Amino acid sequence: MEGIVKGLMVACIGLSCYSLAVWAPRGSILTRPASPEPVRASPGAGPGPHTRGPRYVFVGGFIGGK
Amino acid sequence: MAGKADVVVPATEIRCENCGAPFTLRGFQNTRTAACEHCGSVFDTRSERWELVQRVEGAYQAKPTWSLGTRGTLDGIEWEVIGWMRRSVVSWGTTYTWEEHLLFNPYHGFRYLMVQDRHFVVVQQVPGLPQAGARRATYRGRTYRHFSTTDQAVVEEVLGEFPWEVRRGDVAKAMDYVDPPYILSCERSAGETVWSEGRYLPRDEAFAAFGSPTRPLRPPVVVHPCQPNPHKALASWSLKAGLVGLALWAFLSLLYLGNRQRQVVWSGTVGAARLAEFRLDSSTSPGTLEVQAASGVDNSWVYYDAMLVDKSSEKASYLGLEVSYYHGYSDGESWSEGSQETSEVLSNVPNGDYALQLTRHPSSLYKGNTRITVLRDVPLYRYPLFALLLTSIVPAFVLWRARAFEHRRWQQSDYASD
């Protein structure tokens, strides 16, 4: 039992260090990951009436939002 | 000719004056009081013809955990149970009882094997006088904490031989001081003060020494005043490991927070819609990207659909940005909810050329401009907090368990908390 607790403690401290050194700078695990979906660009259409550039829409249809 | 090992000292047999049962004297000339094993009548054995000092009628209520005559070896010395008594105290309306087995060895004198709440303690009378105060007692360099004091430790039953005068109903004032696994006890009665020191005897060792008890003894439930804390060693280790972990946590947290660039890659105002284009080339890649929105909403809300488009792959991640702020005054109190600012963070965003397409939802109440700021490599306090939780959860649990054990111990003392 004592060995298990000690092992668990060491593992937790190790994981804590790893989370700060590796996960935190990338924002892994605890932050919503960027989950790119394919988009289609309509050149020159712009997202709004007074904007330039392409207008992007998700190929699979609209996701998220209100 | 018989060798030394063959010499047998015959035990003296006497009959009880009260019930006529045979009496076996085991303590020889050390015995001052003897109580009949059958009827419990007490005799003064100092004279050749024993004097009956207390006649007892009726059966015993309790039975010794180990019978008189049982032999056992403790610390390499063989002891024989020659006397037994059951004592009690009443505290806050509850009666607590314990047994004391008097152990004898002709070369090493007497010891007492106490059985209390199915715990075992080996006790020895100490020479000298411990320095005792109200809260502390010191003896031979060891400091004991006061545990309890009772004015009414009563002898309920007595069997066998004792080197002092004892009979049913004897009352003593008893004080206990503890430094687990040791206990220092003081008993005062009729102008006599006796100090003794006890050592907690683990259950297995007690059974190994004296064999199976006369009745089944289940494992103890309550904590004995001098029972060693089984979690103490692990708690001590955990404390050290926890401190090392906290030092590592502090160092890595400062390193993490200090190294974040928090670089503004785009900032501007957005009305109905806008396409923001920027390049990410931070030293940490993939990394975090935060989109902040601040608007002048007042009892209103605005919602932006945001698409972060990776231009090279033509893939986009969706973000929803809602800014909502309401406030008012009702039932005599001011209230507010929401905020004029919000933010969303995406993780694992690689370097590259991006476009952020922002489109205000048509049903938004607020139609003014919103300031959008895009930041790269932002510090997120959730990581140090998460790491702190990971570092401290096991040590905290172990320390809590050790503390809970001590709490249970001291709940039986004069210092119990409500």
CB contact at 8 A, B124 and B185: no
Residue B205 has pLDDT above 90, yes or no: yes
Residue B203 has pLDDT above 50, yes or no: yes
Cβ–Cβ below 8 Å for A51 and B273? yes
Q: Is B133 helix (H, G, I), strand (E, B) or coil?
A: coil
Q: For residues B250-270, give the mean pLDDT.
A: 96
Tokens 């210092």: give the residue: B415
Q: For residues B310-332, give the mean pLDDT.
A: 94
Residue A34 has pLDDT above 60, yes or no: yes
How far apart, in Å, are the Cα atoms of B291 and each of B295, B302, B304, B308, B376? Answer: 13, 15, 11, 10, 9
Q: For residues B201-205, give the mean pLDDT.
A: 96
Provide the H-helix boundaries in B182-291.
Answer: 203-210, 232-258
Residue B1 has pLDDT above 50, yes or no: no
User: Which B residues in the span 168-187 are in contact with A, Cβ-Cβ below 8 Å?
Assistant: none
Residue B4 has pLDDT above 70, yes or no: no
Dist. CA B256–CA B239, nearest whole Å: 25
Name A33's bridge partners.
Answer: B347
CB contact at 8 A, B85 and B116: no
Model pLDDT, residue B185: 96
Per domain, the residue ranges of chain A are: 1-30
Cβ–Cβ below 8 Å for B347 and A8? no
Dist. CA B62–CA B335, nearest whole Å: 70
User: Which A residues in the span 1-40 are in contact with B, Cβ-Cβ below 8 Å?
Assistant: 2, 5-6, 8-10, 12-13, 15-17, 19-21, 23-28, 30-40
**How many CB atoms within 10 Å of residue A44?**
9
Dist. CA B224–CA B180, nearest whole Å: 9
* A57 Cα to chain B: minimum distance (Å): 9
Dist. CA A12–CA A21, nearest whole Å: 14
B230: which 2 tokens?
């089984």
In angstroms and rounded to an integer, the radius of gyration of the C-alpha atoms of chain A is 22
Cβ–Cβ below 8 Å for B394 and A12? yes
Half-sphere exposure of B370 (CA within 13 A, CB side): 37
Model pTM? 0.81
CA B375 to chain centre: 48
- Give the model's confidence band at A65: pLDDT under 50 very low, under 70 low, under 90 confident, else very high: very low
Q: For residues B68-85, give the mean pLDDT.
A: 95
**Chain A neighbors of B252, CB-CB under 8 A:** 17, 20-21
Cβ–Cβ below 8 Å for B308 and A34? yes
- Give the model's confidence band at B15: pLDDT under 50 very low, under 70 low, under 90 confident, else very high: confident
Cβ–Cβ below 8 Å for B303 and A13? no
Answer whether B384 touches A (CB < 8 Å): yes
B80: which 2 tokens?
């024989």
Model pLDDT, residue A49: 67
* A9 Cα to chain B: minimum distance (Å): 6
- Give the model's confidence band at A40: pLDDT under 50 very low, under 70 low, under 90 confident, else very high: confident
Model pLDDT, residue A50: 66
Half-sphere exposure of B199 (CA within 13 A, CB side): 9
Residue B62 has pLDDT above 80, yes or no: no
Q: Is B384 helix (H, G, I), strand (E, B) or coil?
A: helix
Q: What confidence tens digit (pLDDT) does each residue in B107-165 have?
A: 999 999 999 999 999 999 998 889 999 899 999 999 999 999 998 899 999 998 998 88
Model pLDDT, residue A63: 53
Residues 6+ apart with CB under 8 A from B83: B27, B35, B68, B101, B102, B158, B159, B160, B161, B162
Residue A19 has pLDDT above 90, yes or no: yes
If one compares B167 and B176, the residue with the highest pLDDT of the two is B176
Cβ–Cβ below 8 Å for A32 and B395? no
Q: Are strands B136-139 and B273-280 parallel, antiparallel or unpaired?
A: unpaired
- Closest A-chain CA to B305: A65
**How many CB atoms within 10 Å of residue B256?**
21
- Give the model's confidence band at B318: pLDDT under 50 very low, under 70 low, under 90 confident, else very high: very high
Q: For residues B235-251, give the mean pLDDT.
A: 96
